[in-house]
Structure formats: structure tokens, C-alpha cells
Amino acid sequence: MTTEPVPAPLPRFPRDFLWGVSTSAPQIEGAVEEDGRGRSVWDVFAAGAGRIKDGSDARVATDHYHRYREDVGLLRELGVGAYRFSVAWPRVVPDGHGAVNGAGLDFYDRLVDALLAAGVAPVPTLFHWDTPQALEERGGWLRRETAERFAAYADVVAGRLGDRVERWITLNEPAEVTLLGYGLGQHAPGRQLLFDALPAAHHQLLGHGLAVQALRARGATDIGIANSHGPTWTASASEADTAAAGLYDLLLNRLFAEPVLLGRYPDEELAALLPGPVAEDLQVIAEPVDRYGINYYQPTLVGAPAAEGAAGTDEATGAGKAAGTDFGGIRLPPELPFAPREIEGYPRTDFGWPVVPEALTELLVSFRERYGDRLPPVVITENGCSYEGIEDRERIAFLDGHLRALHAAMAAGVDVRGYFVWSLMDNFEWAEGYARRFGLVHVDYATLKRTPKASYRWLQGVLREQARG
């Protein structure tokens, strides 16, 4: 007989709080060559030698394209009110512009109908990193044209699904696409432009604003963006560490929040590096959104890079450890003007990420302080962790801790309307391949069999309890 401690019940969330789980097309769908889908940057990137750590690719992934009915059944059983998935741009518009692929739209049509029949609200994200390769070959997000193409594609999707979809998300984490895809080259499209990647940020934000306009023109009333955010902790009070942490916070948090929420870039020198009529674009980027989506995983402790030649040498402080080394799965080049440091004293996920639920409270309260009434109601569009195993007690502890932290932020006055777990099921974790398992449902990649984990059962219990009112 097990003697697991019974966790204390969670505090009560509002009755209309939206509970959900998230996935994305490139991480689960597979079927990359079926029914007229065009190639995406991830198809091309993953095919390159040495890009994906376990040598895998997402051609089959979890085969959700064929098994979506079973997956919708898992959502229904779980008891969530909403499901955040992404629409694959190259499935709908194979070349990124021009001809629309009706068969691609049909898939999302079937998915939305199946969700609605199961009593689960569909929450599509229009872009979760899978730029059509044809557009990438013309410059991808480095070109303004891509923002316009994106809005045209948003219009096509809304034209087909808008009669049944109420909630929309434009982009997922433009910060990661900019940093990892165009800056460091560790994600698709694999460009290593460092600070020359900044136009990709601006064009994604512009694409967001134009897509908001396109969705509004189709009658949408609940639109948001999913930005990744986490508190930046400063390694020490020294001037150098403070400046480095400030720059990191500016590039990873403020650069993506402030244009959307305040209609301005957080720094004039930085804005001067951006292409096009930036002031006019900012008016588009700041089109009011109804929800602000935050993907939260962890805080980051940041200091100045170690002095030249000293990288990796300071055992006591960890200074320089990250320079030119692996940090939470990401290789950081030594020339960056900031250096993330290891956060000590907290449990870690199998990915090595620190588990710091209270940083979610800190983040939300700081957003409320920074942006005041300009911050629309928040939805946590992703939060989760990577652990092995089906009896995933650590994931339960992670989710339990983060839900309490979320509730604390709400009690402190932050208006939060929903929470989505990343992820419904194990999936293709980008450059890590299949080695990292974020799912509430285990996927056996040899057979594609789905097995609900202990965390799935736990969440099911939480949702039942919360529904009891």
C-alpha cells in the first residue's frame, strides 16, 4: 500500500475560469506530406544533420493528424473547458501566400467540430513557429512581406472557422523565434544573426497587429497573443550585472510586451535598429487585444558575461558558466552581452530547468505594476515541465505549486482568466527531439499508444473539484 501524502485541496478559482491544455501543430500533427501540406521551416531544419539532439524529426510526431478523435476523447475525459492547438500555416497556405489548400482547412474544420461536440472550446493559435519554407526562402520574418502574408492567412482561417471559434491567439512566443531561430540558429530557420535578428521581432509583432485587424474584420471578439515571459533576477547589485540583467529583460520580456500593450518599444536606440515606418507600425501592433497570453516556465538569473578568457572558470559563483556552453538546452555564444547563471536551491525538471512557482506570482504582480490598466485580462497560455515516467509525481507537484502561485497573484489583484497546461501529450520538443516529455499523456513513440499519466488523473480530479463550485 502506498503512503503518498494527500495534497491539500487547491484554493477555489472563479467559476468562469478557463481551464485548458495546449499543444502545437508542428509538435504533434505529423502527416507533413499529406493532403497538400507545404513544407515548413521545421521540416527543412530537422532534416539537417546534427540539428535535433536525438536525430529525430517531426514527420510522424504523435500522428495527431490521424488520431485527433482519440485525442479529443482524452480532452473530454480530462474535463478541460478549452484546448489550445495551433493551425499549421503551410497546411492551409502551402507556399505562405496565394493558393489556399482546402484539404488543410478541412482538417481544422473536423478538429473544431469534434472539440465542440466534446464540449471543449477550441482556441487556435495561428502561428506556432512553422513558417512556410517558401516564405523563408524569400527572407522569412526578416521581411515585412511575411507580416502581410500572415494577416492574409489569418483571414483565410477565420473565414473558415470563425463561425465556431470564439477565442484566437495570433502568435506563439515571437521572442523564441527571434532569439533561437534567427539569433542563435538553434531552432528553425537556423540563422545565426545575433542582434541582426531584431527585424524578425518587429515583423512578427507587425504580423500580430495585422492579424488582429483581420480577425476583427471577421467579427472576432476574443483575441490574444502568447508571449513567453519570466522574471529576470539580477546576479548581483554590481553595475555590470544590473546592466546585463536589464538588457536581458528588455530583449526577452519588454521588447515583446510593450509594443503590444503600450504601443512603443522599450528603448529608443533599439527601435532605431528596426526596419520600416516603425512609428506607424506600432499603431498597428498596439491594436487592442482582449486577452494577454503568458507562457511561463522559469525565472532567469542573469549577470554580466565573464571577462575574456575566464569563461567557465568561476566554480564558486557560476559566473561565465553559460558563456559558450549549454544553458537549459540552449548553447549560448560567448559574445552575448549577458550571461544567464544557474539558479541554485530549487528542484529541477528533467530538462534542468529550476522549479520556482513563486516566480509566477512575482511575474504577474510585476506585469500589473508595470502596465497597470493597459494590461488586459491575462491567460496563462502555457505552463508545464518535462519529466520522465507515467507515475509523474513531480509534474503533479509542479502544477499544484504553480496553480497556488497563480491563485496568489489573483488574490493580489491580477486579473487572470485562464490557465493552460503545456502539454496535453508528450511531443516533439524542437531541438531536443523526443527526449523531453512535457505531456499529461504519455506517448509510446514506437506504437503511438497514448497512456494517461498520474498527472492527468490528478488534473481530472482538480477540475471535477473546481466544477463542484
Of the pair 97, 395, the CB lying nearest ligand BGC is at 395
Task: Count Cα neighbours of 269 within 13 Å in the Cβ-side half-sphere.
Answer: 4
Q: How far is the CB of 32 from ligand BGC (least distance, A)?
A: 17
- Work out whether 176 is an interface residue with ligand BGC (CB under 6 A): yes
Nearest of 329, 298, 300, 302 to residue 402 by alpha carbon: 298
Is the link from the previous residue into 423 a cis peptide, with omega within 30 of 0? yes
- Work out whether 173 is an interface residue with ligand BGC (CB under 6 A): yes
Active site annotation includes 391? no
CB 171 within 8 A of CB 207: yes
For residue 122, give the H/E element and its range.
strand 121-127
Binder among 18, 20, 21, 24 for ligand BGC (CB under 6 A): 24
Please tell me the total number of residues recorded for the chain in this structure: 469
- Work out whether 382 is an interface residue with ligand BGC (CB under 6 A): yes
Binder among 420, 422, 434, 456 for ligand BGC (CB under 6 A): 422
Q: How far is the CB of 230 from ligand BGC (least distance, A)?
A: 11
Burial 17-37 (b: 16+ CB within 10 A, else e): bbbbbbbbbbbbbbbbeeeeb
How many residues bind ligand BGC, per CB under 6 A? Answer: 11
Q: Which of 29, 176, 362, 382 is catalytic?
A: 382
How many other CB atoms are there within 10 angstroms of residue 168's CB atom?
Answer: 30
Q: How far is the CB of 278 from ligand BGC (least distance, A)?
A: 27
- Work out whether 383 is an interface residue with ligand BGC (CB under 6 A): no
Q: Which of 29, 136, 173, 394 is catalytic?
A: 173
Q: How far is the CB of 173 from ligand BGC (least distance, A)?
A: 5
C-alpha dist (Å) from residue 192 to 45, 188, 231, 339: 13, 11, 26, 18
- Work out whether 228 is an interface residue with ligand BGC (CB under 6 A): yes
Active site annotation includes 173? yes
Nearest of 291, 145, 136 to residue 212 by alpha carbon: 291
Q: How far is the CB of 319 from ligand BGC (least distance, A)?
A: 26
For residue 249, give the H/E element and its range.
helix 239-249
Of the pair 131, 466, the CB lying nearest ligand BGC is at 131
Residues belonging to the active site: 173, 382
**In the complex, which residues of this chain contact ligand BGC (CB under 6 A)?**
24, 27, 172-173, 176, 228, 295, 382, 422, 429, 438
